[in-house]
């Protein structure tokens, strides 16, 4: 069995010029494709990107920003906030990483990716300045490109997602209206530390003196570190789950709803519940197309952050939030690509996100026979993810993306001995095998790596491209 891919329109672009621009960016040190390196101030020296930005006229200081760090959910929270700000009428930049399929996904304004021609233009600006600054990295140049693009396009505001960690991330040169820290869990331990408190300390590095920080619900160990950092820096702390409450509403495969209310409104909420909805006051309800309870938490975190910046000179209305949330597009997060057969992709890539994926799968597809396609990056907690995912799988197909950090299939095998498994040497081969095995009686789930998921999406939507040359 195979999916019928959508028709594809081949875009006519000056590919060689755009490709030259990308080749230039990737000619620098690119830690995103390296299997090992030191995460230290000596390696990640923020003075390099500060110097580059000064030479560019400090574009990041020309518009208000929101800064988002976290282990999981930071991309979704960033997308929620950018969508609401755009729906409010602001010209809103969104800077994220890594990209799913196209480099231009990293730099968007009101949901539109930067045109390839603009990337070429901006890279030409960067060339002359970067030559004067030794040691620059691909990510630092990409970050500067995003900030410069937003300034030249005269955005009203921008949402900036941290790439890795927080304290030493190239984005940590901005002075935001608010900092946001989403769910913290174990990931990149070889870089950020082996304990949750060490990881939290790195993420809390984005907290600025006097700048409010919005915190998603956390495990106790992580929450205490963020609380202490905020106290030391006199940063007001807004806690989702305490200062802002949330509850899931009705849900289906097309989306779900949630209710969010402030701590001050809790007596009204209590009366509403006791009266079985008979009170005049009704908690605000929001509809989102993203599935899973974790997205309810992410949406509530975004609302808390938007309410916080509304008090700091960037007002956002209920209508803006509702309209933005309803129309958000954020692929590869429990995304149902097909319903007949059922094909779901999810970018879970650590143990905590694999657990959330398992819970979401039980919620939306209880009792389904699951054919699991799994591939992961070598630096991830593969045994932890396997422990969470093996119980839900009737069979597994192990594969590897074309990304340089992809774990070899032989490495994956040892963690899937307790379930029937097969091997596919490429992601397209894995998809074709899985669809044949699932037939009409089961579903296919693809997870373990954003890069594997991206290749599935690219293969389905662009059938002429059977391989994804990563980072292009």
Query: Out of 50-54, 332-336, 458-462, which region has the weakest mean confidence (pLDDT)?
Result: 458-462
Q: What is the pLDDT of residues 390-424, one digit of tens each?
A: 999 999 999 999 988 899 999 999 999 999 999 99
Q: What is the pLDDT of residues 129-148, one digit of tens each?
A: 999 999 999 999 999 999 99
Domain segments of the chain: what residues?
Answer: 15-239, 335-461
Contact criterion met (CB below 8 Å) for 161 and 171: yes
Closest Cα to residue 342, out of 378, 366, 310?
A: 366
Query: Out of 161-175, 296-310, 319-333, 448-462, which region has the weakest mean confidence (pLDDT)?
Result: 448-462
Domain 15-239 part of CATH 3.30.420.40: no
3 state SS of 291: coil
Angle between helices 138-152 and 15-25 (to 10 degrees): 120
The neighbour count for residue 393, using CB atoms within 10 Å, is: 22
Q: Which fold has domain 335-461?
A: 3.90.190
Report the alpha-carbon angle 158-162-163, nearest 5.
125
Question: What strands, in cross-sheet order, belong to the sheet with 65-69?
Answer: 112-113, 107-109, 92-95, 157-161, 65-69, 178-181, 213-215, 237-239
One fold for 15-239 and 335-461 = no
Q: What is the pLDDT of residues 207-260, one digit of tens each?
A: 999 999 999 999 999 999 999 999 999 999 999 999 999 999 999 999 999 999
Q: What local confidence, expressed as pLDDT, does residue 471 receive?
A: 32
Residue 18 CB contacts under 8 Å (≥ 6 apart), including other chains = 116, 117, 119, 120
Average pLDDT value over all residues in the chain: 90
Q: Which two tokens stand for residue 65?
A: 């920003």
Q: Read off the pLDDT band of 37 (50, 70, 90).
A: very low
Closest Cα to residue 347, out of 357, 332, 331?
A: 332
Q: Averaged over 85-112, what is the pLDDT?
A: 97
**Rounded to whole angstroms, what are the CA distances from 295 to 156, 240, 382, 398?**
26, 13, 24, 28
Overall residue count recorded for the chain in this entry:
472
């Amino acid at each position: 069995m195979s999916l019928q891919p959508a028709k594809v329109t081949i875009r006519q672009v000056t590919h060689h010029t755009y490709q030259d621009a990308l080749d230039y960016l990737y000619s620098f040190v690119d830690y995103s494709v390296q299997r090992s390196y030191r995460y230290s101030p000596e390696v990640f020296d923020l003075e390099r990107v500060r110097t580059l930005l000064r030479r560019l006229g400090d574009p990041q200081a020309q518009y208000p920003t929101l800064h988002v760090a976290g282990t999981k959910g930071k991309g979704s929270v960033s997308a929620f906030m950018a969508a609401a700000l755009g729906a409010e009428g602001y010209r809103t930049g969104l800077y994220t990483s890594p990209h799913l399929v196209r480099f231009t996904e990293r730099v968007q304004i009101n949901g539109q990716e930067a045109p390839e021609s603009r990337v070429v233009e901006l890279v030409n600006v960067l060339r002359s300045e970067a030559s004067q600054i030794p040691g620059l990295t691909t990510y630092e140049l990409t970050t500067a490109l995003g900030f410069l693009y937003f300034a030249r396009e005269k955005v009203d505001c921008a949402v900036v997602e941290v790439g890795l960690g927080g304290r030493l991330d190239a984005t940590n040169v901005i002075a935001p209206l608010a900092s946001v820290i989403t769910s913290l869990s174990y990931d990149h331990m070889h870089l950020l530390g082996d304990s949750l408190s060490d990881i939290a300390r790195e993420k809390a590095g984005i907290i600025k003196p006097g700048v409010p920080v919005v915190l998603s619900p956390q495990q106790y160990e992580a929450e205490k570190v963020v609380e202490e950092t905020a106290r030391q820096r006199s940063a007001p702390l807004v806690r989702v789950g305490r200062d802002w409450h949330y509850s899931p509403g009705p849900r289906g495969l097309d989306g779900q709803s949630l209710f969010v209310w402030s701590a001050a409104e809790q007596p009204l909420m209590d009366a509403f519940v006791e009266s079985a909805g008979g009170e005049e006051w009704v908690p605000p309800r929001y509809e989102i197309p993203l599935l899973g309870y974790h997205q309810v938490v992410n949406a509530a975190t975004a609302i808390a952050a938007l309410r916080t910046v509304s008090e700091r000179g960037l007002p956002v209305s209920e209508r803006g939030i509702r309209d933005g949330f309803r129309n958000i597009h954020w692929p590869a997060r429990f995304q149902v690509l097909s319903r007949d057969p059922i094909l779901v992709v999810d970018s879970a890539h650590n143990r905590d996100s694999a657990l959330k994926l398992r819970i979401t799968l039980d919620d939306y597809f209880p009792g389904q026979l699951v054919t699991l396609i799994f591939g992961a990056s070598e630096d991830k907690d593969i045994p932890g993810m396997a422990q969470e995912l093996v119980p839900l799988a009737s069979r597994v197909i192990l594969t590897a993306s074309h990304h340089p950090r992809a774990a070899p299939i032989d490495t994956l095998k040892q963690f899937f001995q307790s379930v029937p498994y097969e091997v596919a040497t490429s992601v397209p081969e894995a998809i074709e095998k899985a669809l044949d095995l699932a037939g009409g009686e089961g579903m296919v789930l693809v997870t373990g790596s954003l890069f594997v998921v991206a290749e599935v999406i690219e293969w389905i939507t662009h059938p002429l491209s059977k391989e994804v040359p990563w980072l292009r």
